[in-house]
Amino acid sequence: MKYVSYWHDTAPRFAGGLQAPVEGHYDVAVIGAGFTGLGAARQLAMAGARVVVLEGDRVGSGASGRNGGHLNNGLAHSYLAARQELGKERAIALYKAFDCSIDTLETLIAEEGMDCNFRRAGKLKLASKPQHFDGLARNFEAIHAEVDPDTALLSADDLKREVLSPFHGAMLSRKSAVMHMGRYVVGLAEAAVRRGAVIFEKAEVTEHSQTGGRHCLKTSKGMVTADAVLLATGAYTTPNFGYFRRRIMAVGSFIIATRPLTDGEVAATMPGNRTCVNSMNIGNYWRLTPDNRLIFGGRARFSATSDQRSDERSGKILRESLGRIFPQLAGVDIDYCWGGLVDITKDRYPRAGYQDGLWYAMGYSGHGAQLSTHLGMTMADAILGRPDRNPLKDLDWPAVPGHTGKPWFLPLVGLYFKMLDKIK
């Protein structure tokens, strides 16, 4: 078994980063070379801006290269809850932003000729308990009537053509997609460079200051100045950006990938070949890769640490969960096990805007693979003075009480959700 991300291990290495010292003045400095930062950098460079991307590790080394490979449209929340919490207008706007994000990815991938296995797969939100189906049905009725008619409610019998595991029905969102995350993030970085952006890897921003209208960014490789800065670091935001650290909880999400399954095993497990997520509070998500591996993930442990020891412990829990959901795969070999950090906000809604002289987009709360490129491009347009398309503009973002960057309370949260899963 390899303790590395399947996406990293099966993608080419980005070779377009500059090795020269970090120096000079730019119109915009982007901090973070994941989907958000690279999407913004490409958009800015295409408009003629001088752009530098500063990445503390490697392109796609964070959440963009460590996720489950889902591009799910719609909201992570119940739409009914979002409508109540945000108001109907903003809830619809945010839902449609996720829809538009899939369209954005499809268009961008075609424009840049990327080989990243993009495919409209459709997503199944699966009812793990009979009582969960009632909630799914109520949510479906509102979504189908108000915002997304390209959805369907499936019975347990309908699911026999989709997932061969005893679920109690599902909501199908047909716009959802999949792609190879590693190939996409490298392709996006290469596209940004082709369009004129400059990317420095291993250039962590250690200090930031602003004098007048000019930002100064010190890195481990030198210093640049810029007229504007976009922070796109999510759960990997460093302590020198304290405002954002107090509002982001970095939570581990862990994933395993099986050996390639035979055609017979696929037919006996996932004949529908869609993305899937179950309805438990401590839930699981899964999909097939183009070479028929089952990628299976979840918050196996409530931890803010992702290293080989932590990933190995979580991988054992995930393997047990895989065997419970798909007993037919209980003994299958696991080829990959990895983890990463998810940037979760208190209310689990993402945030994007302008604060204390910095532009930012983050807080995707486990649903950033689909939205991040689109939101990065949206913030680039805002920096350029174009019409504002930000669905999160002026959404209040309170700090997490008692949180300074290290989520000490995660084990308590885990116990609470485990209790909910037992009684609901």
Q: 174-192 pLDDT, tens per residue?
A: 999 999 999 999 999 999 9
Contact 341, 63 (CB under 8 A): yes
pLDDT at 411: 57
What pLDDT, on a 0 to 100 scale, did the predictor assign at position 420?
Answer: 58
Q: Is 218 helix (H, G, I), strand (E, B) or coil?
A: strand
pLDDT of residue 406: 72
Residue 35 lies in a domain: yes
Query: Closest Cα to residue 39, out of 361, 344, 345, 367?
Result: 361
For residue 423, being part of any structural domain is answered with no
Two structure tokens written together for 7: 């996406």
Would you state the pLDDT for residue 416?
Answer: 46
CA 211 centroid distance within chain: 34
325 in any annotated domain: yes
Tally the domains of the chain. 1
CATH number at residue 373: 3.50.50.60
**Paired tokens of 390:** 């930000």
The three-state (H, E, C) secondary structure of 278-344, written as one string: ECCCCCEEEEECCCCCEEEEECCCCCCCCCHHHHHHHHHHHHHHHHHHCHHHCCCCEEEEEEEEEEE
pLDDT of residue 65: 97
- Range list of H helices, 87-225: 88-112, 130-146, 181-194
- For residue 422, is it within any domain? no
Domain hosting 59: range is: 6-415
Positions of the chain with pLDDT lower than 70, given as ranges? 281-282, 300-306, 407-424
Please report the pLDDT score of residue 305 as a whole number: 63
The residues with which 361 forms a beta bridge, in sequence order, are 352
Does the residue 424 lie in any domain? no
Please choose, from the candidates 77, 65, 57, the residue with its C-alpha nearest in 3D space to the C-alpha of residue 35: 65
Per the domain annotation, does 421 fall within a domain? Answer: no
Look at residue 180 and tell me if it is in a domain.
Answer: yes
Phi, psi of 91 (to 5 degrees): -60, -45
Nearest to 311 by CA among 285, 340, 344: 340
Evaluate whether residue 260 is within a structural domain: yes
